[in-house]
Amino acid sequence: MAEVVAVHTDSAHGFSKNQAEAVELIAGLGVQGDAHMGAQVQHRSRVAADPMQPNLRQVHLLHEELFAYAADHGFSVAAGDLGENITTRGIDLLGLPVGAVLRLGAEALVAITGLRNPCAQIDTFSDGLLSVVRYRTDQGSVVRLAGVMAVVVAGGVVQAGDAIEASMPPGPIRPLAPV
């Protein structure tokens, strides 16, 4: 069964987020009280480019399975360390298409908008980790493992232990790309 492992928020534009008992998702905005909440972009680099862009990064979801992968490469990573709002288990987030909708708990719905594009701040957290969560294959393709971004379609409270159910979007499937 796919489930929420932990939830996190932070009102500051830091890197890691603080674990919480629960978070409230607000439709069209994101995680209540989080620095990245808003209808328009909140990430500093994107605000500098165009502050009126729609915020496709309202909620960051990261799969707990990445922590074991990082440990296999000599890194210690725990829930919230990489700045995610929701840590998941048992769902292939990276295999979902754009527009897939996740029901988180009883009420909250988020629509997947794309991949998180890991940046150099990850190496500030742990030197060398960026090359584990973003790398090139022998064929030259970039692989990004740092979770997915989503927008809130329907609000609700989300907490550890909540079930996750995925619904695929209608129409042609669009693979995830960085947002």
Q: DSSP letters of 3-40?
A: EEEEEEE-SSS-SS-EEESEEEEETTTEETT-TT-SSB
Q: Is residue 105 part of a domain?
A: yes
The answer to whether the beta carbons of residues 105 and 162 sit under 8 Å apart is yes
Alpha carbons within 13 angstroms on the beta-carbon side of residue 87 total: 24
Q: Is residue 172 part of a domain?
A: no
Q: Is residue 107 part of a domain?
A: yes
Q: Is residue 174 part of a domain?
A: no
Please tell me the predicted confidence (pLDDT) of residue 18: 97
Please tell me the predicted confidence (pLDDT) of residue 171: 87
Grouping H, G, I as helix, E, B as strand and the rest as coil, residue 176 is: coil
Lowest mean pLDDT among 42-56, 128-142, 165-179: 42-56
Count of the separate structural domains present in the chain: 1
Distance of alpha carbon 32 from alpha carbon 122, whole angstroms: 24
Q: Which H helix or E strand runs over 164? A: strand 164-167
Kindly report, residue by residue over 69-95, the tens digit of the pLDDT: 999 999 999 999 999 999 999 999 999
The answer to whether the beta carbons of residues 5 and 160 sit under 8 Å apart is yes
- Name the pLDDT band for 28 (thresholds 50, 70, 90): very high
Q: Is residue 135 part of a domain?
A: yes
Kindly report, residue by residue over 44-70, the tens digit of the pLDDT: 777 778 878 999 999 999 999 999 999
Q: Is residue 65 part of a domain?
A: yes
Range of the domain at 33: 3-167
CATH number of the domain enclosing 120 = 2.40.33.20
Grouping H, G, I as helix, E, B as strand and the rest as coil, residue 61 is: strand
Structure tokens at 112: 């997947």
Phi-psi label, residue 164: left if phi above 0, alpha if psi -120 to 50, beta otherwise: beta
- Percent of residues, the chain, with pLDDT higher than 70: 100
Q: Is residue 39 part of a domain?
A: yes
Please tell me the predicted confidence (pLDDT) of residue 44: 75
Q: Is residue 79 part of a domain?
A: yes
Per DSSP, 94 falls in state G
What is the arithmetic mean of pLDDT over 105-109? 97
pLDDT at residue 119 is higher than 90:
no
The type of residue at 9 is: T
pLDDT at residue 159 is higher than 90:
yes
